[in-house]
Amino acid sequence: MKKIAIYITTLFFLTSCELTDVVDVDPPNNLVAENVVKNENDAKALLNGAYTTITSRTNPFYYMYTELIPSALAGSMSQTGGGNVHGQFSINDIKYDNSYVKDYWLSFYKVMDMANNSIVLTAELSDEEISPNNKREIIGEAHFLRAMATFDALRYYGQFFDESSKYGIVLRTEPSNFVTRDKARSTVAESYAQILADLDIAIADAPDYTVSYRASKTAAKALKAKVLLYQSKYAEAAVLADEVIMSGSTSLESTFENVFSKGLKSSEMILMTYRDENSDNIDNNRKRFYTGRVGTSWFTSLMTSDPRKPFTYSGANVLKTNNVEVFRPTYFMRLAEMYLIKAEGLAFSNASLEDASAPLNVIRNRAGIGNTTATTIDELKDDIFDEIARELAFENGSEWFAAIRFNKIMTLKPTVTSSNQYILPIPEEEINGNGSITLADQNPGYE
């Protein structure tokens, strides 16, 4: 166990630096497989390190800025923090050398790298060193984590909204080192294909759902439903979301308040970060600094009379994702989102008004606002968007990406005037440090 601890410490040190630093050095001796993962306990520790990469103080961008950055882009939060680099997100005028763009990019690629190491090194263990079932489940979980990080990287840095686009992301499916560092951008279609391939492995091999802070078959199906929705594969997304709903792995809480007052005990959480009194401290949970981030906007107008408002924010202060009573977790996916994915998928795939309204009404009635009054599919689509914003605000960029999918963001946020602003620039450091990428590969609008 000493060797695996040394490995994780070393990798955390490396990944806290620039990506160019991670891949420009020769792999130290403790990264050699035979010195790192010798048995099942080592493999489990390595996988745990991947989860820690998402929640640790050295990588706050994954658990915190996946709330702050998209909310500032959408206008549901007025700011990501103080200073000019923060303000660029709020006015949708982001510069290629923004340091938070770099750190955000790195947060996703750190998780990919940890997942890649877990996949490669665990796969090399023999049946004498690890049980076949546990080996399969560990590798399945790692594939889920890689898929999640890859999807997030694509959503923020690739033209996810256009599957014919050449502007995908750099796909990392091997541990980062001096051999693998130089890699060109993949297309959007290739990026989606890799994400779905990883999720199919996770659906087959990850553990059954037991807790909300670990990957599972249920989480993999839920994420796949979301990915299919982003690909405009609406009917398929609706079918898979319904499978998650009907699986019985999770269940809706009786009230919206209960969803966020029960923490890890909430019955509808599919995937969230683990937080307790020991991890909710100044060093390890930067969400303790969430104050004054909600300003007047289309979002606050939408929430004016909604019963969920008192549990979402108060004045300018975020409440939902900064609830001290449950130690401020991050919510990646929950069952309510599956109902809304089902509703959106049906509405955009020529289902009947009655069928597409049904899953939406489940969430509306739980919130206490009654059935939709839409009489046409177009009206229903508007109601679905509004419900996504009210129900899922501040959760993993839900309102930002919905505003793009529903073609509403330019109306809601006047500072968004071009689809180029839907994504962030590829960081300057990646272009300088990756020999297979040049300035010509930068996202449109950031040249």
- Please state, rounded to an integer, the average pLDDT across all residues of the chain: 91
Residue 71, token pair as written in the block: 């909310």
378 in any annotated domain: yes
Name the nearest CA neighbour of 337 among 263, 288, 395.
Answer: 395
The two three-digit tokens of residue 91, written as one number: 């006015």
Task: Specify the pLDDT at position 177.
Answer: 87
Tell me the whole-structure pTM to 2 decimals.
0.92
In a domain, 28, yes or no: no
The SS3 assignment for 318 reads strand
**Single-letter amino acid, residue 118:** S
Tokens of 257: 């308040």
In a domain, 368, yes or no: yes
Domain presence at residue 298: yes
Read off the pLDDT band of 82 (50, 70, 90): low
DSSP 359-426: HHHHHHHHHTS-S----SHHHHHHHHHHHHHHHHTTSTTHHHHHHHHTT-HHHH-TT--SGGGGSPPP
| 359 within some domain | yes
| CB distance 126 to 85 below 8 Å | no
Count of domains in the chain?
A: 1
Which CATH number characterizes residue 360's domain? 1.25.40.390
Distance from C-alpha of 396 to C-alpha of 422, rounded to nearest angstrom: 15
Burial readout 374-406 (b: 16 or more C-beta within 10 A, e: otherwise) = beebeebbebbbbbbbbbbbbbbbbbbbbbbbb
Phi first, then psi, for residue 5 (nearest 5°) are -65, -40
How far apart are alpha carbons 158 and 151 in whole angstroms?
10
Task: Annotate 117-165 with three-state secondary structure.
Answer: HHHHHHHCCCCCCCCHHHHHHHHHHHHHHHHHHHHHHHHHHCCCCCCCC
Longest Cα pair distance anywhere in the chain, in angstroms?
66
Dihedral through CA 168, CA 173, CA 176, CA 182, nearest 10?
-50
Question: Which stretch of DSSP H or E encloses residue 332?
Answer: strand 331-334
Least confident span in 129-133, 264-268, 289-293, 362-366:
289-293
Residue 369 is part of which domain span? 232-419
Label residues 55-85 b or e (16+ Cβ within 10 Å = b).
bbeebbbbbbbbbbbbbbbbbbbbbbbeeeb
Task: Establish if 144 belongs to a structural domain.
Answer: no
Q: Is 37 left (phi over 0), alpha (psi -120 to 50) or beta?
A: beta
309 pLDDT more than 60: yes
**How many Å apart are CA 311 and CA 86, to the nearest integer?**
26
Indicate whether 20 pLDDT > 80.
no
Q: Looking at the domain assignment, is residue 318 inside a domain? A: yes
pLDDT digits (tens, 9 = 90+) for 346-383: 999 999 999 999 999 999 999 999 999 999 999 999 99
Q: pLDDT for 156-205, tens place per residue?
A: 999 999 999 999 999 999 998 888 899 999 999 999 999 999 999 999 99
Residue 325, phi then psi, degrees to nearest 5: -65, -25
Q: Within a domain: residue 185?
A: no
